[in-house]
């Protein structure tokens, strides 16, 4: 759980091509070290884009929201864990496997898949990590999308989903900052909270309904803040990143 000491920004690489993704990784790494690869980019590029991020030195949040029969999710989680690269400079005299890098540090499953599927996801991650001799990637459950409108039952539904995630052996959940404070209060400091819908100015929300600023999300207890369009569409993505990091850590980033 070493990544839980301080909140971190994850850049959502919601673009169409490997070239676009590489442009943003080259531009923003190492100011940003964590990158989300979702269905849009993974469908276009597959594991190659994961390897590109890993080759640069970054880590990947593979956000494919697995939701299928337990057996399929078990093996999908295992496959995601095995995506790897071999660094260009391999030390002579060491076995190749000792130099392999596994970029995926976190993956998503959808809570609506149910207990058996969530159990299979947790088991798949643990068993594949043991087989490979690597640190287990975090598995987090998607509760409700931040594009969905808030209603009187939202918090209750998210807390129920978080309980199911915890009971199934998942590491945490994906939820908006509006629910994060209560999730943190109920499930403790070691339960991972990933928060999308982060906006530098809440007036600019695009299709997101339940948004928050960096400071609001951190105050609510989020560990990972997922930011895409505010950086990708900015006139100066590097400057926007520095401003967001300033909000996160203070000046000087």
Q: Extract the tokens encoding 207.
A: 């299709």
Return the closest-CA partner of residue 174 out of 21, 30, 36, 80: 36
Cβ 68 vs Cβ 117: under 8 Å: yes
Residue with tokens 């900052």: 177
| Active-site choice (36, 51, 65, 123) | 65
Under DSSP, is residue 6 helix (H, G, I), strand (E, B) or coil? coil
Is 149 a known active-site residue? no
User: What sign has the CA pseudo-torsion 190, 65, 160, 193?
Assistant: positive
| Spatial separation of the C-alpha atoms in residues 148 and 144, rounded to whole Å | 7
* DSSP code for 101: B
C-alpha distances out from residue 54 to 22, 79, 184, Å? 11, 16, 30
CA distance 14 to 38: 7
Q: How far is CA 194 from the centre of its chain?
A: 7
Greatest pairwise CA separation for the chain in angstroms: 62
Residues recognised as catalytic: 65
């Amino acid at each position: 759980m070493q990544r839980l000491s301080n909140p971190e920004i994850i850049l959502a690489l919601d673009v169409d091509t490997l070239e676009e993704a590489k442009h943003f990784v080259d531009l923003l790494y190492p100011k940003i070290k964590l990158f989300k690869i979702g269905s849009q980019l993974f469908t276009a590029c597959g594991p190659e884009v994961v390897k590109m991020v890993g080759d640069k030195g970054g880590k990947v949040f593979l956000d494919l929201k697995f939701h299928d029969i337990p057996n399929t999710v078990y093996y999908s989680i295992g496959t995601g864990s095995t995506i790897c690269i071999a660094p260009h400079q391999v030390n002579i005299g060491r076995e190749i496997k000792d130099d392999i890098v596994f970029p995926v540090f976190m993956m998503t499953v959808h809570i609506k898949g149910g207990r058996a599927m969530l159990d299979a996801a947790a088991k798949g991650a643990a068993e594949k990590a043991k087989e490979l001799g690597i640190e287990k990637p975090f598995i987090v459950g998607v509760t409700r999308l931040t594009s969905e409108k808030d209603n009187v039952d939202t918090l209750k539904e998210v807390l129920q989903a978080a309980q199911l995630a915890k009971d199934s052996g998942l590491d945490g959940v994906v939820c908006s900052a509006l629910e994060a404070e209560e999730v943190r209060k109920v499930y403790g400091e070691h339960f991972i909270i990933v928060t999308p819908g982060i906006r530098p100015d809440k007036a600019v929300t695009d299709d997101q309904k339940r948004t928050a600023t960096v400071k609001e999300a951190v105050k609510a207890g989020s560990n990972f803040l997922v930011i895409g369009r505010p950086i990708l569409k900015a006139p100066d993505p590097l400057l926007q990143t520095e401003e967001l990091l300033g909000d996160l850590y203070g000046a000087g980033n």
